[in-house]
Amino acid sequence: TSVGADLDHVAITYKATERLVISGTAGGADAVLESDDEYRARAQLSDEARPLFGLTPGGYEWRVRKLYGDRVKHVRTRKRPAGWLDLIVLARAGDGTPPETLIGDL
């Protein structure tokens, strides 16, 4: 299992997926990047975000992690009848309950 710079290389080369910056640099502080485990999971889902006819459940998870990874720590999908899909989200901040602004963005 790749870690650190090796994981960055594999994910960028084979999955066209860059590591997300969780919080930027401020006042000379180092940027906080997503963990190896989060990055690996998102890179593995990247293939599901490229189907010809709509997104798979994994594709939705990949998009949420890519677009909102700075605010979302974990996301899962649950299929429902008639083509509906639930997104189950754990926020990075606080106790993990997603704020209304995040729910509105999703």
Name the more confident of 51 and 46. 46
Q: How far apart are CA 19 and CA 46, in angstroms?
A: 12
CA 97 vs CA 12, 47, 106: distances in Å: 31, 29, 14
Report the chain's mean pLDDT, rounded to a whole number: 89
- pLDDT at res. 50: 78
Inform me whether the pLDDT recorded for 76 exceeds 90: yes
pTM for the full predicted model: 0.74
Task: Give 77-92 pLDDT, tens digit per residue.
Answer: 999 998 889 999 999 9
Among positive and negative, which fits the CA dihedral 6, 30, 38, 62? negative
